[in-house]
């Protein structure tokens, strides 16, 4: 069992991959067999694939304030002369898709939370064809993401209510960046650097959901988190390292989350949630419910 990113990187040297280390830890912690653990992750992967497909086809949330953006991005990818790279925009589309399905109360896989569920699958599905990832390698991607997410959850937080959106989207993006590095045959050390770079760039991000719902700005933050994962992974693969060690970055994020005012932690009392438009939308939603 590893309790820090430093321990994760050290212990990974004794295994074929970070993914295999995570499987071994899961076997030890849960008492499940390797086959059972693989089967559970295969179910997660299937749910991810299905939610992306559903969202890309076009869905609308229960409230009606979000929906259809994944389909717009899909059309944009097919017909437009876009500015960003196709792989990143595909991840953005996928991430939006998952969170739009979440907003319509559809089935998603919390990764690590429902509010940040689009980042990891969005990134994975965007690179699996480009990197020609086998089914097993796709599962490895998820196990690798889970390994780094486990450390973050145990040493900081993955909850927007506790640590702000840095804890949700930040953690999800860091997990995805680490998995990307390993999927590209980078080292566990490089994956750890990607985590640090990602968390540093998302540190301080508040959680300010309009009407207290996981829609605005959550859906679009998943999109931007997906793009951040790619940039961090490429920086780490280029040999760029974080001046502040990964574990210290995680600790700093935890401290920032604890010091963050409650109005910026999923209470809908600050940030975008109290703008004139947000207040109007909140009133309209409440009136519909009554």
Paired tokens of 36? 């059972």
Spatial separation of the C-alpha atoms in residues 278 and 210, rounded to whole Å = 6
Query: 51 and 44 in contact (C-beta within 8 Å)?
Result: no
Spatial separation of the C-alpha atoms in residues 244 and 28, rounded to whole Å = 31
- In order, the DSSP letters of 26-93 are HHHHH---HHHHHHHHHHHHHHHHHHHHHHHH--B-SSSSSBSHHHHHHHHHHHS--SS-HHHHHHHH
Is the pTM above the cut of 0.95?
yes
- In the chain, which ranges are E strands? none
Q: Encode the chain (290 residues) as per-residue pLDDT tens digits.
A: 999 999 999 999 999 999 999 999 999 999 999 999 999 999 999 999 999 999 999 999 999 999 999 999 999 999 999 999 999 999 999 999 999 999 999 999 999 999 999 999 999 999 999 999 999 999 999 999 999 999 999 999 999 999 999 999 999 999 999 999 999 999 999 999 999 999 999 999 999 999 999 999 999 999 999 999 999 999 999 999 999 999 999 999 999 999 999 999 999 999 999 999 999 999 999 998 87
Per the DSSP assignment, residues forming a β-bridge with 265 are 207
């Amino acid at each position: 069992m590893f309790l820090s990113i430093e321990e994760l990187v050290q212990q990974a040297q004794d295994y074929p991959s970070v993914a295999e280390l995570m499987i071994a830890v899961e076997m030890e912690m849960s008492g499940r067999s390797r086959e059972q653990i693989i089967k559970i992750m295969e179910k997660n992967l299937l749910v991810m694939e299905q939610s992306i497909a559903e969202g890309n086809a076009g869905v609308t949330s229960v409230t009606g304030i979000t929906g259809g953006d994944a389909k717009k991005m899909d059309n944009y990818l097919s017909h437009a002369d876009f500015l960003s790279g196709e792989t990143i925009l595909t991840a953005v589309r996928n991430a939006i898709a998952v969170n739009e399905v979440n907003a319509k109360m559809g089935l998603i896989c919390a990764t690590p939370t429902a509010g940040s569920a689009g980042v990891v699958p969005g990134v994975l599905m965007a690179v699996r064809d480009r990197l020609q990832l086998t089914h097993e390698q796709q599962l490895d991607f998820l196990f690798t993401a889970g390994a780094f997410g486990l450390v973050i959850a145990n040493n900081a937080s993955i909850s927007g209510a506790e640590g702000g959106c840095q804890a949700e989207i930040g953690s999800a993006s860091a997990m995805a960046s680490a998995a990307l590095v390993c999927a590209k045959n980078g080292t566990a050390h490089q994956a750890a650097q990607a985590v640090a770079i990602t968390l540093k760039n998302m540190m301080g991000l508040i959680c300010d959901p309009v009407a207290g719902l996981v829609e605005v700005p959550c859906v679009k933050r998943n999109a931007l988190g997906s793009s951040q994962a790619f940039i961090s992974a490429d920086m780490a693969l280029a040999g760029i390292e974080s001046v502040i060690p990964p574990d210290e970055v995680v600790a700093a994020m935890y401290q920032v989350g604890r010091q963050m005012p409650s109005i910026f932690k999923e209470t809908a009392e600050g940030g975008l949630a109290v703008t004139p438009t947000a207040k109007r939308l909140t009133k309209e939603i409440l009136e519909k419910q009554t």
